[in-house]
Structure 1
Amino acid sequence: MSSPTSDVTVPPTGPAAAPSRALPNGLAAFLVFFASGAVLVLETAALRLVGPYVGVTLQVTSSVIGIALAAIAYGAWAGGWLADRRDPRTLIAPALVLAGITTAVTLPVVRYAGEVLRGGAASAILLLVALAVFVPAMLLSAVTPLVVKLQLADLRRTGQVVGRLSSIGTLGAVTATLVTGFVLVAALPSTVILLGLAVSLGLTGLGVGGWLRRQHDTALPGPARTRAALAVLGLVGAGLTTVAPTPCDIETAYHCARVESDPDRSSGRTLLLNSAQHSYVDLADPTYLEYAYTKWIGAVADVSAPAGRRVDALHLGGGGFTVPRYLTATRPGTDNVVFEIDGGLVELGERKLGVRQGPDLRAVVGDARMLVAGEGTDTRDLVVGDAFGHLVVPWHLATREMAADIRRVTRPGGVYVQNVIDYPPQRFIRSELATVGAEFGNVALIAPPGALAGTDGANFLIVASDAPLPLAAIQTRLAQVDPAAALMSGAALDDFVGEALVLTDDYAPVDQLLATA
């Protein structure tokens, strides 16, 4: 009688060698690292690609992240499904080549679609982001499960293989995020980044496909005619990029910027950031103020100190440097220090907007929150807050802690003015008034009557000081420069603010307060 276990095959105890048809470990690691990293390059560049049409707000950023994650999820699922039904060696190269082609096509598609969807609602934002990200990111995300399937040679090492390749993919994503954010975006336009990514993907796919053919006699799927058509599609996409409408004269590290001449005023120039009007300057007349809110700032500055007396002014946000130029022209000897986060805008201003740095104007490149913290106490007569990310005041510049630092910097009797954009139901401007009022003892508000009535979206100008404000003088000057403007203060302002939330570093939902729905 035989033993009960005599017919059972005992598996070998030593490690099993990977089958000859698996990819070399180095190549497998490279493919996962490269494909995962390419997704994050695409995601970061896509934010800049769609920004000129729909802005760079929390909703847009959330849409880019959400659409990219959805593409990764669907791509990983599709790649795993295909890996169980087809030889993964026949799919890796096509996935990379197709990802390169769709990345190239993304540029003209987004630019033409962006002109149609410009400034649209949430659905327009999601659609434009999907056009920019979804298909190439999904194709790239299919690469990892294809590679993993090939490398699973020994079931006893499944966890090790999957864990190693998963960590390599994550490292690729982290590396690409840091390199793109710190190096590529600062050095190259988004067009160059995306076209370079498209070419890299295409060449990598062709190279991997050629190697597999030599090693395993594995051909790319589909007839030669199909492959030729795909190549032509990629070339057409790249070609269309050269004729697709572009909203930028230059791309800085933060903005798509363009300067337009005013057809009705030969010396007038308009600065557009991400296609939104940001500043207007008159190269020949620095005292000319085109936009209503700049007239309001000028009016407050005109009565904040005796006429013609120099002031020490601090500007949070430079843009076209309209107000610093105005103060220099109306108050010779004024010291203007401008904190501007975008060094590219400073250079653009010097080239095209008549900005001249010298004893009366110094531009400091950096984040205003950090730079204000380094300013001396009681050093400024006038602080002008005019920093925006697209049409939104950055949240960290809108909190009580920021207002407290500005109050510290402002001399007794000095004035702080802050430009805010809001729309009905005007939750943000009410909260910002409550926030500034929590630090400054005297606050007033300048805006069009329709905006104060809650029917219109508009610019609002908060005026604040520790000392009583010269309200009568401000009202008189406003009547001269912009008769349509209204000044609100006292009990009427208290009623307008109501029980609005005071924003803090711990809780400042600026984007949500600005939502109109």
Structure 2
Amino acid sequence: MNSPSPEVAVPAVPSEPEAPRALPNGLAAFLVFYSSGAVLVLETAALRLVGPYVGVTLQVTSSVIGIALAAIAYGAWAGGWLADRRNPRTLLAPALVLSGIATAITLPAVRYAGEVLRGGAESAILLLVVVAVFAPAMLLSAVSPLVIKLQLADLRRTGQVVGRLSGIGTLGAVTATLVTGFVLVAALPSTVILFGLAASLGITGIALWAYLRGQDRATLPGPARAKAALAVLGLVGVGLTVVAPDPCDVETAYHCAQVETDPDRASGRTLLLNSAQHSYVDLADPTHLKYAYTRWIGAVADVMAPEGQRLDALHLGGGGFTVPRYLTATRPGTDNLVFEIDGGLVELGERHLGVRQGPDLRAEVGDARMLVAAEGTDTRDFVVGDAFGHLVVPWHLATREMAAEVRRVTRSTGVYVQNVIDYPPLRFIRSEVATVAAEFRHVALIAPPEALAGERGANFLIVASDTPLPLAAVRARLDDRNEAVSLLSGSDLTDFVGDALVLTDDYAPVDQLLATA
């Protein structure tokens, strides 16, 4: 009789872990659209945040774009890495909440760091932009790969899912860029934009957490103390913002603006744009010209039109409206037409700088290049070029094509003066003189001797006309004003300019020419 065979235990086959459930398609699309758009809101707002400390130049703009792209790349990589190791459903809400906190902390962090890094050296620009953009943009960029991982339930539809969500993310970025540039920046201060975004991210994260918890009991990871720490961190960010130094009295669409009272002259007001001195006006005496370059402009105007003789004047850039007020005071009846791209500066001038619009002073808000093109031929006696983006002449106002437009609207006996700022080795001012001379028959240059020698940066004033310039009279007028400046013309100016590049719409590397290295 055979004994029964012993039963052999069959090892249990471990079950495959249940794949995380996909999100509803609408929710997945919203999260990708929203997080991608939030990155571009941050990127656009960052230019306004760092501008008061390092200016708004090509280098600053390039830094913001480059650092934002780096944050997107690292965030996408980190999000994908985490999605393969953790349940993405438990990571989405924390990513949004953390990005909201990082956004809230950005404003005070930039303001404190900006006070230390103020100036504009390349290393300072990069570091300040990293503070402004990197952390929240990286956290937000991790959202898309987390969502995509959840939606890849069917490998046969991988391309369709990835392509659709990537396209939705791009549409979110495009929408946010347009809305921020056309609406938010024009209507709201940076503080409101950033805190509105931070609050929106936090609320969205909490709402998502509550939704997912109701679906599958997923909760924010970590103990209660970690959650409390996040809440405290957010409150600290808000508190730091309250006490952080604010460099702006008024935030316009283009500038962080301040008006300071001159401690040595009760009626004197200094206009600072992005923390750089831009204009000075005397509310009680519009003929008081504090800055040297404005006195040079006044000297040229005094020579070309004796006091009391009206002029048809066109001003490219308003700023503090110093020169228009001077011409109105010294030449009643003068028609001053001012093209100013920043409507907020016009309003600021009317409130704080004694600007009164009327028959002798009109301000048109818009880009000077576009507005000059609409002006009639031979309509102006005196054209003043004094438009700046921070301390740089906007490149499209520095080209031969722009000089040709200015020449067209200037009468044959009229004069064009252009204020330029440059630094050793003086590549930009040489090119700009060459550019203006390519259109006007007679050109001269007024500048401090030490600046022409390449010893320091300074303002330079280009003077141009199609008729011979009254240089002897201008020199005498400058001497009367005790101006220790040089007046270059003829062969001396030709030697100074050398073989400098004539700037054109096709090639005008203004920021590179201004680089001191």
Q: TM-score, normalized by length of structure 1?
A: 0.96
User: Does the Cα contact within 8 Å between 1:295 and 1:482 map onto a contact in 2?
Assistant: no
Give the distance between the partners of 1:27 and 1:177, measured in 2 at CA.
22
Figure out how many residues of one structure are paired with residues of the other and give that number. 500
Q: Which residue of 2 aligns with 1:134?
A: 134
The AA in structure 2 aligned to 1:406 is V
Give the distance between the partners of 1:118 and 1:484, measured in 2 at CA.
31
Q: Which residue of 2 aligns with 1:237?
A: 237
Q: Secondary structure of 2:72's match?
A: helix
Q: Secondary structure of 1:271's match?
A: strand
Equivalences for residues 115-194 of structure 1 within 5 A:
115-194=115-194
Pairing 1:202–2:205 present: no
Q: Which residue of 2 aligns with 1:40?
A: 40
Equivalences for residues 50-65 of structure 1 within 5 A:
50-65=50-65
Deviation, 1:482, is 3.9
Deviation readout 1:167-222 (Å, 9 max, x if unpaired): 00000000000000000000000010000000111111111111111101111111
The AA in structure 2 aligned to 1:369 is R
Deviation readout 1:234-256 (Å, 9 max, x if unpaired): 11101211110011001001100
Q: Which residue of 2 aligns with 1:8?
A: none
Give the distance between the partners of 1:212 and 1:260, measured in 2 at CA.
53
Deviation, 1:19, is 7.5
Q: Which residue of 1 aligns with 2:500?
A: 500
Pairing 1:93–2:105 present: no
- Structure 1 window deviating more from structure 2 (395-404 vs 232-241): it is 232-241
Q: Which residue of 2 aligns with 1:413?
A: 413
Give the distance between the partners of 1:201 and 1:292, measured in 2 at CA.
50
Q: Which residue of 1 aligns with 2:370?
A: 370
Deviation, 1:454, is 1.3
Give the distance between the partners of 1:159 and 1:324, measured in 2 at CA.
62
Pairing 1:268–2:248 present: no
Cα RMSD over matched residues? 1.0
Deviation, 1:120, is 3.4
Equivalences for residues 73-88 of structure 1 within 5 A:
73-88=73-88
Q: Secondary structure of 1:315's match?
A: strand
Q: Secondary structure of 1:265's match?
A: coil
Equivalences for residues 461-476 of structure 1 within 5 A:
461-476=461-476
Give the distance between the partners of 1:86 and 1:20, measured in 2 at CA.
10
Give the distance between the partners of 1:503 and 1:103, measured in 2 at CA.
41
Deviation, 1:307, is 3.1
The AA in structure 1 aligned to 2:510 is V
Pairing 1:478–2:489 present: no
The runs of 4+ residues in structure 1 deviating greater than 6 Å are: none
Deviation readout 1:93-114 (Å, 9 max, x if unpaired): 1110000001101111100110
Deviation, 1:306, is 3.0
Give the distance between the partners of 1:480 and 1:423, measured in 2 at CA.
28
Q: Which residue of 2 aligns with 1:211?
A: 211
Give the distance between the partners of 1:396 and 1:483, measured in 2 at CA.
31
Equivalences for residues 279-358 of structure 1 within 5 A:
279-358=279-358
Deviation, 1:305, is 2.0
The AA in structure 2 aligned to 1:505 is D
Distance verdict in 2 for CA 1:119–1:20, change over 3 Å: closer
Give the distance between the partners of 1:106 and 1:305, measured in 2 at CA.
53
Deviation readout 1:351-376 (Å, 9 max, x if unpaired): 00000000100000000000000100
Deviation, 1:308, is 1.8
The AA in structure 1 aligned to 2:343 is G
Give the distance between the partners of 2:293 and 2:210, measured in 1 at CA.
62
Give the distance between the partners of 1:435 and 1:40, measured in 2 at CA.
37
Q: Secondary structure of 2:267's match?
A: strand
Deviation, 1:455, is 1.2
Distance verdict in 2 for CA 1:173–1:482, change over 3 Å: farther
Q: Secondary structure of 1:416's match?
A: strand
Q: Secondary structure of 2:212's match?
A: helix
User: Does the Cα contact within 8 Å between 2:20 and 2:150 map onto a contact in 1?
Assistant: no
Q: Which residue of 1 aligns with 2:401?
A: 401
Deviation readout 1:142-177 (Å, 9 max, x if unpaired): 000000000001011000000000000000000000
Give the distance between the partners of 1:31 and 1:494, measured in 2 at CA.
61
Q: Which residue of 1 aligns with 2:380?
A: 380
Give the distance between the partners of 2:369 and 2:107, measured in 1 at CA.
35
Unpaired runs of 5+ in structure 1?
1-17
Q: Secondary structure of 1:376's match?
A: coil
Q: Which residue of 2 aligns with 1:4?
A: none
Q: Which residue of 2 aligns with 1:277?
A: 277
- Structure 1 window deviating more from structure 2 (123-132 vs 299-308): it is 299-308
Unpaired runs of 5+ in structure 2?
1-17
Q: Secondary structure of 1:502's match?
A: coil
Give the distance between the partners of 1:494 and 1:20, measured in 2 at CA.
74
Q: Which residue of 2 aligns with 1:427?
A: 427
Deviation readout 1:471-516 (Å, 9 max, x if unpaired): 0000011112242111111111000000000000000000000000
Give the distance between the partners of 1:469 and 1:307, measured in 2 at CA.
18
Q: Secondary structure of 1:169's match?
A: helix
Give the distance between the partners of 1:482 and 1:278, measured in 2 at CA.
23
User: Does the Cα contact within 8 Å between 1:312 and 1:379 map onto a contact in 2?
Assistant: yes
